[in-house]
Amino acid sequence: MTGHGPAVAAVGNTAATGSNGTYFSTYSVVGILLLLGVAFVATAFGANRLLSPHAPSPEKLLTYECGVDPVGEGWAHTQVRYYVYAFLYAIFAVDAVYLFPWATIFAAPGFKGTTLVEMFVFLGFLAVGLLYAYKKGVLAWL
Amino acid sequence: MNPDNYLFLSALLFTIGAFGVLIRRNAIVVFMCVELMLNAVNLTLVTFSRMHGDLTGQVIAFFTMVVAAAEVVVGLAIIVSVFRTRRSASVDDANLLKY
Amino acid sequence: MAISSLVQNVSYAQIAAPLIVAAGAVAVLVAEVFLPVRRKQLVSWLSLVVLAGAAAPDIALWPGRTTGTFCMPQSAAGLYSLGAGEPHGMPSTCSYVADRFALIFQFVALAGAFIVVLMSAASMKRDRIPTGEYHFLLLSSVAGALVLAAARDLITLTIALETVSLPAFALVGLKRWSGRSSEAALKFFLVSVASTAVMLFGISLVYGATGNVHFAPVALHLHALSSGTNGPMRHLAYLGVGMTLVGFGFKVSAVPFHFWTPDTYAGAPVPIAAYLSVVSKAAGFAGLILLTGTAFSPLLDKTGPLLAVLAALTMSLGNLVALRQQDAVRLLAWSTIGQAGYILVPLAAHDSVSYTKHINASVAYIIMYAAMNLGAFAVVHSVHATSLDAYRGLAKTRPLASAALAFFLLCLAGLPPGLMGLFAKVAVFGAAAGSHLVWLAVVMAVNVVIALYYYLSWTARLFAAPDAATASVGRSPATLRFAIGLTMLAAVVFSVWPQSALGAF
């Protein structure tokens, strides 16, 4: 890292002292659009609230379900077969974050084969997790 | 670069998260608030990293992200397991161990 | 210009212990999957071999002096501006140092986990705990504890702490058929991740204020900040230090962060409760000592009073609530909170001279507490009854186990013949007096007397006449008897030769 510290600092400085003003002013369009959007929705709903008559009764407050009286609760159970896949995906996807800094330097001079091998050791450990999940039958679709 | 705005934002995110942890009753929502706190941490780290002009903060942010993902997996597995035995994810319903 | 290799040199001798345990964890996981169902018990033995084998490189390191590994090039630390230049030598920027302190905590973690595996070997089937997952998670957590004691930068410390905690959540919830176990895991998990988030925010502020993560440079910067004129940065650093300590306060269940402890211990399998109360807690104290003693040492005049108040609150609340417990594991849980208060006392020193002079009292207390607490949990596990009344008259049916439990309880109380506990408490009293914290010594003395009541009433129950509530227990499995025997041996050794623990660090 000896050679990298000052270089990184220099890059940070040029970017930081660059033309901040013009960069952020392009966001003003987004800001104005956002304000317009909020104003439009607020006006529409406000007008509706002000102009419409408001006389609720228990029947009117029922959930609308094609004219049939609703039965049971609004929450329904679904069989979630894939949540284990989701867990596995979350772990593997996030561990891939370590590949990015590695990918920027592994071919650089001074790192050579050792760095390449190190990453494959890391991937090997992840693969053991996958092997375990496979042997436990988690990956088979029910 | 003026770090103040970023730090205000991250402090705000952290406070919202901490407030949610204290007042919400659903385990999953409490958990989402914790994730919000962790994201505030990442924002602070990256801001300071830029401010100091070194990469350490960004490296910590990577580790924080992986820690958060690992917590998600373990935490959701525990919540699923609680839900299977109790049919509820509310923290108030977790009362088997009261004495 | 020829570019030399930028790959770090790694001293494998120093990181051998956590490396062996981590590789062993993966081996256990794979072995369990490929073993036939009848042979799954072999996994327990494999874990024991791994834990014993990991102690070997640590024993080899004990006589020597180590300089650390995973070191950053020193110029990268950017410390010249602070005047920490050539005459004094640069501060260490190594991330992992297997020095005397780290080795002591690694031995405690390895020995504690060894006893826990022995305790659980015979009860896995009864409690319907999946063998492979259990040992994999346990060894992973131990690997985290081993790294934590040797960590010398904030990132390594955080990752090690998470490696201790994350498998522990799953371990607490492994009795998946039991609603109590899952609920205990949920409480433990939610409180823990919230405190981790607070701690990480604290670390990010410390990094922001100092621009470093290695302990020695952080200490230099904090020293400069605390005597400097940069007001906002100083307050940022103070806030960061406070929030970082919160995470470890949770880990050692100091009082405002203690409320997960009794519920978690009561819901978890008993060996896991023992693990949390000894190995996980020892790891938390190792981190707390590392932070207050090195990284945050310039702020001892601020953290000292804070920790003194925490210690007083922790021991008082722990012992007072323990008085009205009717459940053995719950009583032990509140008693471990009380004991954590005693361990915090030497950390509350207000200046670095008395801190470094007396910190060995904390280390010795942790070593001795590990032996006596594991022993008490092992006997409770062998009796397999929750209510304290089940212990009435146990001396008639199980004389040896009762004698062992009585001895461990007397050690925890600090009464002869449990001399070990007495020596540990005297050492902590000496630390409080030496640090001019007389009020804390008085609070502690009152607490020791309060604690006598519940330890002695439990001991008295053992020797009372049996009645209907008495648990009828048969002979324990050989592994469990071996675990009790080992802790008993350690307790006797520390009682007759306390210097082995008091002089360790």
Peptide bond into A53 cis (omega under 30): no
Query: What is the spatial distance between Cα C334 and Cα C454, in angstroms, rounded to a whole number?
Result: 11
Cβ neighbours, 10 Å, residue B43: 18
- CA angle, residues C298, C157, C150, in degrees to nearest 5: 90
For the entire predicted model, the pTM comes to 0.86
Give the range among C86-90, C105-109, C201-205, C330-334 with minimum mean pLDDT. C86-90
User: pLDDT tens digit string along A54-68?
Assistant: 888 887 787 777 777
Query: What is the spatial distance between Cα C80 and Cα C90, in angstroms, rounded to a whole number?
Result: 9
User: Which has more pLDDT, B98 or C423?
Assistant: C423
Query: What is the spatial distance between Cα C378 and Cα C487, in angstroms, rounded to a whole number?
Result: 9
Q: Does C482 fall in a domain?
A: yes
Helix axes A83-95, A112-135, angle to 10 degrees: 170
Any CB–CB contact under 8 A between B93 and chain A? Answer: no
Tokens of A52: 């419409």
Query: What is the spatial distance between Cα A129 and Cα A127, in angstroms, rounded to a whole number?
Result: 5
Query: What is the spatial distance between Cα C154 and Cα C159, in angstroms, rounded to a whole number?
Result: 9
Q: Does A29 fall in a domain?
A: yes
pLDDT for the residue numbered C16 = 92
C496 residue type, one letter: V
pLDDT for the residue numbered A2 = 39
DSSP states along C185-250: HHHHHHHHHHHHHHHHHHHHHHHHHHS--BHHHHHHHHHHHHHSS-HHHHHHHHHHHHHHHHHHHH
User: Which has more pLDDT, C437 or A85?
Assistant: C437
What contacts C232, CB < 8 A, 6 or more positions away? none
Count chain A–chain C contacts defined by CB atoms under 8 A.
Answer: 36
The dihedral sign for the CA sequence C141, C147, C150, C152: negative
Q: Does A83 fall in a domain?
A: yes
Query: What is the spatial distance between Cα C67 and Cα C71, in angstroms, rounded to a whole number?
Result: 9
* Segment holding B81, helix H or strand E: helix B56-86
Q: How many residues does chain A have?
A: 142
Q: Which residues of A touch B (CB under 8 A)?
A: 5, 8-9, 12-13, 16, 20, 83, 87, 90-91, 93-95, 97-98, 101
Q: Min CA distance, B80 vs chain A (Å)?
A: 10
Query: What is the spatial distance between Cα B95 and Cα C184, in angstroms, rounded to a whole number?
Result: 10
User: Which has more pLDDT, C178 or C249?
Assistant: C249
Predicted confidence band of residue A11 (pLDDT cuts 50, 70, 90): very low
* Segment holding C314, helix H or strand E: helix C300-322
pLDDT for the residue numbered A80 = 64
Chain B hits for A8, Cβ within 8 Å: 53-55
Query: What is the spatial distance between Cα B46 and Cα B60, in angstroms, rounded to a whole number?
Result: 9
Give the range among C159-168, C453-462, C470-479 with minimum mean pLDDT. C470-479
* Alpha carbon separation from C157 to A6, C122, C319, C420 (Å, rounded): 27, 34, 31, 31
Q: Min CA distance, C193 vs chain B (Å)?
A: 7
Q: Which among C483, C484, C497, C460 has a CA at the least distance from the CA of C404?
A: C484
Could you give the 3-state DSSP secondary structure of residue C151?
strand
Q: Does A26 fall in a domain?
A: yes
Nearest-CA residue of chain A relative to B59? A101
Q: Does C501 fall in a domain?
A: yes
Do the chains contact at C7 and A132, CB–CB below 8 Å? no
Q: Which one-letter DSSP state was computed for residue C8?
A: P
CA C65 vs. chain centroid, Å, equals 24
The owner of tokens 């469990």 is: C480
pLDDT at C477 over 60: yes
Question: Which of B47, B55, B79 is the best substitution to test chain A (most A C-beta atoms within 10 A)?
Answer: B55
Count chain A–chain B contacts defined by CB atoms under 8 A.
Answer: 37
Q: Does C169 fall in a domain?
A: no
User: Which has more pLDDT, C474 or C395?
Assistant: C395
- Is residue C331 within 8 Å of residue C468, measured between CB atoms? no
Do the chains contact at C72 and A110, CB–CB below 8 Å? no
Query: What is the spatial distance between Cα C92 and Cα B16, in angstroms, rounded to a whole number?
Result: 38
Average pLDDT over residues C222-248: 88
C373 residue type, one letter: N
What contacts C363, CB < 8 A, 6 or more positions away? C101, C104, C289, C504, C505
- Is residue C252 within 8 Å of residue C288, measured between CB atoms? yes
Predicted confidence band of residue C85 (pLDDT cuts 50, 70, 90): very low
Q: Which CATH number fits domain B4-88: 1.10.287.3510, 3.40.190.10, 3.60.40.10, 3.30.450.20?
A: 1.10.287.3510
User: pLDDT tens digit string along C192-209?
Assistant: 999 999 999 999 999 999
Name all chains with 3 or more CB-CB pairs below 8 Å to chain B.
A, C
Nearest-CA residue of chain B relative to A4? B54
Helix, strand, coil percentages, rounded to 5, for chain B: 80, 0, 15
pLDDT at C388 over 60: yes
> pLDDT averaged over chain C?
88
Beta strands in C85-149 (DSSP E): 94-96
Q: Which candidate from C6, C30, C33 shows the least CB-CB separation from A110? A: C6
Q: Min CA distance, A8 vs chain C (Å)?
A: 12
User: Which has more pLDDT, C172 or A86?
Assistant: C172
pLDDT at C84 over 50: no
Average pLDDT over residues C453-479: 85
Average pLDDT over residues C58-72: 83
Nearest-CA residue of chain A relative to C1? A109
Q: Which residue range is the domain that position C432 belongs to?
A: 298-505
C201 residue type, one letter: F
Long-range (24+ apart) CB contacts under 8 A made by C235-238 are: C236/C205, C236/C208, C236/C209, C237/C205, C237/C206, C237/C209, C237/C210, C238/C299, C238/C302
Tokens of A104: 């920027």
- Is residue C153 within 8 Å of residue C161, measured between CB atoms? no
pLDDT for the residue numbered A46 = 95
CA C194 vs. chain centroid, Å, equals 20
Q: Min CA distance, A67 vs chain B (Å)?
A: 31
Q: Min CA distance, B99 vs chain A (Å)?
A: 32
Any CB–CB contact under 8 A between B76 and chain A? Answer: yes
Q: Which candidate from B18, B48, B52 shows the least CB-CB separation from C204? A: B48
Nearest-CA residue of chain C relative to B27? C190
Nearest-CA residue of chain A relative to C29? A132
Name residue B90's beta-bridge partners: B26
- Is residue C202 within 8 Å of residue C291, measured between CB atoms? no
Average pLDDT over residues A76-88: 73
Q: Which residue range is the domain that position A80 belongs to?
A: 20-135
pLDDT for the residue numbered B60 = 92
Q: Does A15 fall in a domain?
A: no
Do the chains contact at B74 and C198, CB–CB below 8 Å? no
Chain B hits for A101, Cβ within 8 Å: 59, 62
Q: Does C498 fall in a domain?
A: yes
Query: What is the spatial distance between Cα C150 and Cα C97, in angstroms, rounded to a whole number?
Result: 5
Question: Please, is C439 exposed, middle or buried when counting C-beta atoms within 10 Å of its C-beta (0-12, 13-18, 19+)?
Answer: exposed
pLDDT at C264 over 70: yes
Could you give the 3-state DSSP secondary structure of residue C475?
coil
- How many domains are there within chain A? 1
Nearest-CA residue of chain A relative to B64? A94
Q: Which residues of B touch C (CB under 8 A)?
A: 14, 17-18, 21, 27, 30-31, 34, 37-38, 40-41, 44-45, 47-48, 51-52, 54, 56-57, 59-60, 63-64, 67, 70-71, 74-75, 77-79, 81-82, 84-86, 91, 94, 96-97, 99
Parse chain B into domains and list their residue ranges: 4-88
User: pLDDT tens digit string along C108-132?
Assistant: 999 999 999 999 988 888 888 888 8
Predicted confidence band of residue C500 (pLDDT cuts 50, 70, 90): confident
The dihedral sign for the CA sequence B52, B53, B56, B57: positive
pLDDT at C250 over 90: no
User: pLDDT tens digit string along C370-383?
Assistant: 999 999 999 999 98
Any CB–CB contact under 8 A between B54 and chain A? Answer: yes
Chain A hits for C6, Cβ within 8 Å: 1, 110-111
Do the chains contact at B54 and A8, CB–CB below 8 Å? yes
The enclosing domain of A124 has a CATH number of: 1.20.58.1610
Q: Min CA distance, A108 vs chain B (Å)?
A: 18
Any CB–CB contact under 8 A between C205 and chain B? Answer: yes
Cβ neighbours, 10 Å, residue C28: 26
Question: CA torsion, points B23, B25, B30, B31, in degrees to nearest 10?
Answer: 170
Beta strands in C29-88 (DSSP E): 69-71
Q: Which candidate from C3, C7, C26 shows the least CB-CB separation from A115? A: C7
Which of A10-14, C6-10, C478-482 reaches the highest mean pLDDT?
A: C478-482
Average pLDDT over residues A15-44: 81
How many CA atoms lie less than 13 Å away from B52 in the CB half-sphere? 25
Query: What is the spatial distance between Cα B23 and Cα A121, in angstroms, rounded to a whole number?
Result: 44
Could you give the 3-state DSSP secondary structure of residue C95?
strand
- How many domains are there within chain C? 1
